[in-house]
């Protein structure tokens, strides 16, 4: 348990670690920019994951050592990375065939909002002066087999990010499978948000209070918690 | 005799005309043909429609072409850059139009254009603002959008190695959009760090076959955009 703004719940690293526990060995995974990138640091020992970056690399490794990078070997966040043994380079159309053709097992993304139906808003605040920029997010949510969202449970102002319906421009409809927050792990089911696991110090009532839609209790058949 | 060499970058881009549609390779700085873009700024063509994933950084390369006021419309997926205000200023003042396209849809529209496919359906962007005004049709219980193929009058790309026929090999993630843009350009112009004779590239390793390439120009030590931006460079 870590001190956060709420004095309860998981830190960013613990959220990433909790998500990493749920990625099966041998998965082909695309990690979004920011908090999702942290997940790569916490993959449990003994599991091998292969990372895809949509600008054209399968088998992405960590950042290069100082002075050893190549400005033409970068990830989707335009930061220098490395290629692991067994990696491959390919053009955009092949890269998005991997995404849109359903060949990737999992994509981890950040969110502005997730709705009870699994709609995701994560690319634009929709302001009149905002420069709209979407990148590959809409392709990823449309094509990858599972979509996990990792995000703080609430905005900095305390507004819920898990909501009845999204008010920001959508990235995709009914695409999110699970949400990992500082307070809980939540599955998106046909009947709505279902609690899977509570973070240390959090209880059902607190998570419900900070969620903008009805939360279903942990299913009795689930072995978690 | 087939010899697609241009003597220099100025000659390579000399035929670009006002109002042309131009595809420019690159994802961020990786694969951006900076020397060809700078030659295009010198050449002077304006009212261009540019198809490229981003809008450049700093005030060099694509950002410099935009800043010079030559681009009336951008078709791209991610025009935001941490260190450039060139495109945001043009967009907010209405001087450059933007057609925002999801990155995979952009790649596929270019591929389709190059492959002679006028349009295709995709589930990407259904239910989002980018679906507005697009025809929707249901396939296998899934709504899909009709997207059109893209072609261009000119394509500008960067290769690591080319032969004089125009067979190309790229460097790492600098490959990105270049192979599909080479297919979709009516005049595909390539700057290459290495220029070799036909036969020196193993046919098994050719990434872009020569038929998609019209002009090749040797640029032995291409600049890196990040290094130019860090040095505070501007163009012209």
Residues on chain A touching B227 (C-beta within 8 angstroms): 71
Q: What are the structure tokens assigned to B84, written together? A: 């450039």
Residue A62 lies in a domain: no
Domain that holds residue A124: 12-41+104-216
Q: Which residues lie closer than 8 Å to B197 by C-beta, 6 or more apart?
A: B163, B164
Predicted local confidence at residue A1, as pLDDT:
44
Residues on chain A touching B178 (C-beta within 8 angstroms): 91
Q: What are the structure tokens assigned to B13, written together? A: 């881009």
Is the confidence at residue A225, as pLDDT, over 70?
no
Residue A17 in contact with residue A42, Cβ under 8 Å?
A: yes
Predicted local confidence at residue B83, as pLDDT:
81
Q: How many residues appear in chain A?
A: 225
Q: What are the structure tokens assigned to B226, written together? A: 């990040």
Contact B176 A135 (CB under 8 A): no
Nearest CA-CA distance, residue B224 and chain A, Å: 7
Catalytic residue, chosen from A54, A68, A72, A209, is: A54
CA dist., res. A90 & res. B227, Å (int):
25
B30 has which bridge partners? B27
Residues on chain A touching B173 (C-beta within 8 angstroms): 53, 55-57, 72-74, 89
Residue A48 lies in a domain: no
Residue A224 lies in a domain: no
Q: What are the structure tokens assigned to B48, written together? A: 């261009």
CA dist., res. A58 & res. A135, Å (int):
18
Residue A47 lies in a domain: no
pLDDT tens for chain B, 236 residues long, are 999 999 999 999 999 999 999 999 999 999 999 999 999 999 999 999 999 999 999 999 999 999 999 999 999 999 988 788 899 999 999 999 999 999 999 999 999 999 999 999 999 999 999 999 999 999 999 999 999 999 999 999 999 999 999 999 999 999 999 999 999 999 999 999 999 999 999 999 999 999 999 999 999 999 999 999 999 999 99
> Given pLDDT bands bounded at 50, 70 and 90, which one contains residue A54?
very high
Predicted local confidence at residue A219, as pLDDT:
85
> Given pLDDT bands bounded at 50, 70 and 90, which one contains residue A221?
low
Instruction: Give the number of beta-carbon pairs within 8 Å between A and B.
Output: 144
Q: State the average pLDDT over residues A30-34.
A: 94
Q: What are the structure tokens assigned to A138, written together? A: 């809409």
Q: What are the structure tokens assigned to B87, written together? A: 């495109």
pLDDT single digits (tens) A149-159: 999 999 999 99
Contact B173 A96 (CB under 8 A): no
CA dist., res. B65 & res. A151, Å (int):
38
Nearest CA-CA distance, residue B32 and chain A, Å: 10
> Cα dist. A40→A18, A48, A148, B146 in Å?
12, 11, 14, 36
Residues on chain B touching A138 (C-beta within 8 angstroms): 102, 104-105, 124-125, 128, 130
Residue A88 lies in a domain: no
Q: How many residues appear in chain B?
A: 236
Could you give the number of structural domains in chain A?
1
Question: What residue in A sits closest to B128 (Cα-Cα)?
Answer: A170
Question: What residue in B sits closest to A72 (Cα-Cα)?
Answer: B30
Which residue of A138, A140, A171, A172 is the best one to mutate when testing the B interface, meaning the one whose CB has the most B CBs within 10 A?
A138
> Does the model's ipTM exceed the 0.90 cut?
yes
Residue A5 lies in a domain: no
A72 is catalytic: no
Domain ranges of chain B: 9-118+150-230
Predicted local confidence at residue A2, as pLDDT:
46
Residue A55 lies in a domain: no
Query: Domain of A112: which CATH number?
Result: 3.40.1080.10
Higher-confidence position of A225 and A25:
A25
Residue B123 has its nearest CB partner, among A91, A136, A142, at: A142
Return the CATH number of the domain spanning residue range B9-118+150-230: 3.40.1080.10
Residues on chain A touching B171 (C-beta within 8 angstroms): 70, 72
pLDDT single digits (tens) A117-152: 999 999 999 988 889 999 999 999 999 999 999 999
Which residue of A72, A95, A96, A125 is the best one to mutate when testing the B interface, meaning the one whose CB has the most B CBs within 10 A?
A72
Comparing CA positions, the residue from A53, A135, A137, A139 lying closest to residue A89 is A53
Share of chain A above pLDDT 70, in %: 95
Residue A7 lies in a domain: no
């Amino acid at each position: 348990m870590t001190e956060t703004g709420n004095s309860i719940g998981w830190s960013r690293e613990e959220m990433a670690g909790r998500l990493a526990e749920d990625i099966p060995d041998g998965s082909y995974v695309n990690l979004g920019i920011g908090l999702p990138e942290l997940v790569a640091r916490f993959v449990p020992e003994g599991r091998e994951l292969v990372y895809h970056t949509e600008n054209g690399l399968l088998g992405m490794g960590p950042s290069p050592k100082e002075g050893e990078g190549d400005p033409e070997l970068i990830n989707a966040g335009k930061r220098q990375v490395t290629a692991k043994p067994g990696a491959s380079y390919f053009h955009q159309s092949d890269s998005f065939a991997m995404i849109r053709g359903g060949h990737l097992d999992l994509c981890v993304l950040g969110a502005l909002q997730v709705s009870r139906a699994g709609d995701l808003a994560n690319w634009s605040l929709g302001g009149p002066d905002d420069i709209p920029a979407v990148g590959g997010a809409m392709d990823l949510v449309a094509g990858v087999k599972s979509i996990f969202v990792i995000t703080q449970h609430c905005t900095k102002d305390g507004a819920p990010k898990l909501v009845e319906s999204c008010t920001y421009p959508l990235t995709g409809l009914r695409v999110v499978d699970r949400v990992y927050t500082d307070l809980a792990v939540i599955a998106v089911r046909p009947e709505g948000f279902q609690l899977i696991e509570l973070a240390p110090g959090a209880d059902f009532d607190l998570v419900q209070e900070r969620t903008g839609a009805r939360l279903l209790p942990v299913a009795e058949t689930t072995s978690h918690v | 005799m087939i010899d697609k060499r241009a003597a220099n970058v100025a000659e390579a881009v000399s035929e670009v005309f006002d109002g042309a549609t131009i595809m420019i390779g690159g994802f961020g700085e990786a694969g951006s043909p900076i020397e060809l873009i700078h030659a295009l700024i010198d050449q002077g063509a304006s009212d261009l429609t540019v198809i490229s994933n981003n809008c450049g950084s700093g005030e060099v390369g694509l950002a410099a072409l935009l800043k010079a006021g030559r681009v009336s419309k951008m078709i791209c997926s991610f025009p935001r850059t941490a260190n450039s205000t060139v495109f945001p200023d043009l967009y907010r003042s209405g001087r450059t139009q933007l057609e925002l396209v999801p990155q995979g849809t952009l790649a596929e529209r270019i591929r389709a254009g190059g492959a002679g496919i006028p349009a295709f359906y995709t589930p990407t962007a259904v239910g989002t603002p980018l679906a507005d005004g697009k025809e929707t049709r249901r396939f296998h219980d899934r709504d899909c959008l009709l997207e059109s193929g893209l072609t261009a009058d000119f394509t500008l790309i960067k290769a690591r190695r080319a032969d004089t026929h125009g067979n190309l090999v790229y460097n790492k993630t600098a490959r990105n959009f270049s192979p599909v843009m080479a297919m979709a350009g009516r005049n595909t112009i390539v700057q290459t760090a290495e220029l070799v004779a036909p036969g020196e590239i193993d046919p098994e390793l050719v990434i872009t076959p020569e038929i998609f390439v019209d002009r090749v120009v040797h640029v032995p030590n291409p600049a890196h955009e990040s290094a130019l931006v860090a040095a505070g460079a501007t163009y012209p």
